[in-house]
């Protein structure tokens, strides 16, 4: 079991995640929904954001639970809970200390509490009509966890009353071995899975690092069968979903756009990986800056589309995609029609399913400026789209994202 130490600085212990989830589950009884996300980590501090419908009540109850029962860490030496007020906010967070065997310092775990909107919420449209929207991804996670709970309570009947996704539960319990082995435990990991940033390792570019066995990192629901086997479920919703979302402001600084070339080797390597021309890339964002705030009459083609399949290093691109997709988990996908698909992401499936075929770059044309570029990558299992764009108020790139559609 991993622990937080100087040699493992960027990982939050699996046991901490499990114990924190236990506290949050006790707090959110009666079907109350919550999500938690590991926002940042370093050698001494891990920050976890907890989203709930009533953040003040959640904070108070979490603090009571922590003081009453503690984290009970298998490798821990105790904890303390203190109030912490975050700058610029109107609510207090919580901070507790964990010290692991072998460490000569205490590790801070900081909890921030934020509001969560789940289920249906009303929103007035421009026409004055009230619309209802759902955060379906969060609802899906809680519905599926509840379905497995009902499956256990019913004596392993996938068609039991109240189970929402009966077809999926019946199929999955068969193919996963749960039907024979039984289901001993359901652990709602929520979004406590860890961030997987862009990693530059020499000339290679990876997502999260070189280890592609990522089940413990990406799990949303962990099932433990009757033989003690862990089944990691990574839940996705919608026709297009995201594998990766990383910041790129540091490697693509505004000053380099002014100079006309990038000084950071990582920037050049990233563009080369996807077959993106550096000059064209710079011109795209300079044109977008010039057009900002102006009305542009878009005529003709809005994209300059260039096939770079024969120019990219597909071996390096394949390595990158493998670290983004990974293996060692079940990919559970709810499409827009309400069908749940399941894929056992073994190492063999990852190897075969992520091999790049065609690679096509989409630049915004001169008559249709936009602050982004897109690269479409076709693989046997996925239709991938990488984009580098500004997700914030500015113009120059802030993030790189890798979205995908599954070829069902």
The predicted-structure confidence for 339-352, as pLDDT tens digits, reads as follows 999 999 999 999 99
Query: pLDDT confidence of 129, banded at 50, 70, 90?
Result: very low
Measured between alpha carbons, how far is 376 from 392 in angstroms, rounded to an integer?
Answer: 23
Measured between alpha carbons, how far is 231 from 331 in angstroms, rounded to an integer?
Answer: 11
Measured between alpha carbons, how far is 308 from 12 in angstroms, rounded to an integer?
Answer: 40
Provide the 8-state DSSP code for 156: S
Q: Is the pLDDT assigned to residue 88 strictly greater than 80?
A: no
Q: Is the pLDDT assigned to residue 163 strictly greater than 60?
A: yes
Report phi then psi at 90, rounded to 5.
-105, 5
Smallest Cα–Cα separation from 268: which of 254, 255, 284, 279?
Answer: 279
Measured between alpha carbons, how far is 397 from 256 in angstroms, rounded to an integer?
Answer: 12
SS (H, E, C) 261-295: CCCCHHHHHHHHHCCCCHHHHHHHHHHHHHHCCCC
**What pLDDT score was predicted for residue 329?**
97
Helix (H, G, I), strand (E, B) or coil at 363: strand
**What pLDDT score was predicted for residue 350?**
97
β-partners of residue 360 are: 307, 376
Measured between alpha carbons, how far is 281 from 188 in angstroms, rounded to an integer?
Answer: 42
> Worst-scoring range by mean pLDDT, 24-38, 64-78, 216-230?
64-78
**What pLDDT score was predicted for residue 127?**
46
Q: Is the pLDDT assigned to residue 323 strictly greater than 80?
A: yes
Q: Is the pLDDT assigned to residue 404 strictly greater than 80?
A: yes
- Is the model more confident about 154 or about 15? 154
**What pLDDT score was predicted for residue 408?**
67
**What pLDDT score was predicted for residue 7?**
32
**What pLDDT score was predicted for residue 75?**
38
Give the dihedral sign, CA 156/14/17/67: positive
Smallest Cα–Cα separation from 378: which of 399, 342, 341, 404?
Answer: 404
- Report, as an integer, the average pLDDT of 376-381: 96
Would you mind telling me the total number of residues written for the chain in this entry?
Answer: 408
pTM for the model stands at 0.73
- Report, as an integer, the average pLDDT of 103-127: 64
Question: Residues with Cβ < 8 Å from 314, sequence gap 6 or more?
Answer: 355, 356, 359
> What is the share, in percent, of the chain residues with pLDDT greater than 70?
77
Contact by Cβ (8 Å): 149, 157: no
Measured between alpha carbons, how far is 317 from 378 in angstroms, rounded to an integer?
Answer: 12
- Is the model more confident about 237 or about 331? 331
How many secondary structure helices (H) and strands (E) does the chain include?
A: 11, 20
> Worst-scoring range by mean pLDDT, 100-104, 201-205, 307-311?
100-104
Task: List alpha helices for 28-135, DSSP H.
Answer: 55-69
**What pLDDT score was predicted for residue 292?**
78
- Report, as an integer, the average pLDDT of 153-166: 94
Smallest Cα–Cα separation from 374: which of 350, 402, 407?
Answer: 402
Q: Which domains does the chain have, with CATH numbers?
A: 6-115 (3.30.460.10), 131-234 (no CATH), 241-312+356-406 (no CATH)
Query: pLDDT confidence of 43, banded at 50, 70, 90?
Result: low
Contact by Cβ (8 Å): 350, 325: yes
Looking at beta carbons, which pairs linking 194-198 to residues 24 or more positions away fall under 8 Å? Answer: 194/11, 194/12, 194/38, 194/41, 195/38, 195/39, 195/40, 195/41, 196/244, 197/246, 197/247, 198/244, 198/246, 198/248, 198/270, 198/400
Q: Is the pLDDT assigned to residue 306 strictly greater than 80?
A: yes
Smallest Cα–Cα separation from 114: which of 92, 132, 96, 136?
Answer: 92
The angle, 0 to 180 degrees and rounded to 10, between the axes of the packed helices 55-69 and 14-27 is: 120
Measured between alpha carbons, how far is 4 from 219 in angstroms, rounded to an integer?
Answer: 19
């Amino acid at each position: 079991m991993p622990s937080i130490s100087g040699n493992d600085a960027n990982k939050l212990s699996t046991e901490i995640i499990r114990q924190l989830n236990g506290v949050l589950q006790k707090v959110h009884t009666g079907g109350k929904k919550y999500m938690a996300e590991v926002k940042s980590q370093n050698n001494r501090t891990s920050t976890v954001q907890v989203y709930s419908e009533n953040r003040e009540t959640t904070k108070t109850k979490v603090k009571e639970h922590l003081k009453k029962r503690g984290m009970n860490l298998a490798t821990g030496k105790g904890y303390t809970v203190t109030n912490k007020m975050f700058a610029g906010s109107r609510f207090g967070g919580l901070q507790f200390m964990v010290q692991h065997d072998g460490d000569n310092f205490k590790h801070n775990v900081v909890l921030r509490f934020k509001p969560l909107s789940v289920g249906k919420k009303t929103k007035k449209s421009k026409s004055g009509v009230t619309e209802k929207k759902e955060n379906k991804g969060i609802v899906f996670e809680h519905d599926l966890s509840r379905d497995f709970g009902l499956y256990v309570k019913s004596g392993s009947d996938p068609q039991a009353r109240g189970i929402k996704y009966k077809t999926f539960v019946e199929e999955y319990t068969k193919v996963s071995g749960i039907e024979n082995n039984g289901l001993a435990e359901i652990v709602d990991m929520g979004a406590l899975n860890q961030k997987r940033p862009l990693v530059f390792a020499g000339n290679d570019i990876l997502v999260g690092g070189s280890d592609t066995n990522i089940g413990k990192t990406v799990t949303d629901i962990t099932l433990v069968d009757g033989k003690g086997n862990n089944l990691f479920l990574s839940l996705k919703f919608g026709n297009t979903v995201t594998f990766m979302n990383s910041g790129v402001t540091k490697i693509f600084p505004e000053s380099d756009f002014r100079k006309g070339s990038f000084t950071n080797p990582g920037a050049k390597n990233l563009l080369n990986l996807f077959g993106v021309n550096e000059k064209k890339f710079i011109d795209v964002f300079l044109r977008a800056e010039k057009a900002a705030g102006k009305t542009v009459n878009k005529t003709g083609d809005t994209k300059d589309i260039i096939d770079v399949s024969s120019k990219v290093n597909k071996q390096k691109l394949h390595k990158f995609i493998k670290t983004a997709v990974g293996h060692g988990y079940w990919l559970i996908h709810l499409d827009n029609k309400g069908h749940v698909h399941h894929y056992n992401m073994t190492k063999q499936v990852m190897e075969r399913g992520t091999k790049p075929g065609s690679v096509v770059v989409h630049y915004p044309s001169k008559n249709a400026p936009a602050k982004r570029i897109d690269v479409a990558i076709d693989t046997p299992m996925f239709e991938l789209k990488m984009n580098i764009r500004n997700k914030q108020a500015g113009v120059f790139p802030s993030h790189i994202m890798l979205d995908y559609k599954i070829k069902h």
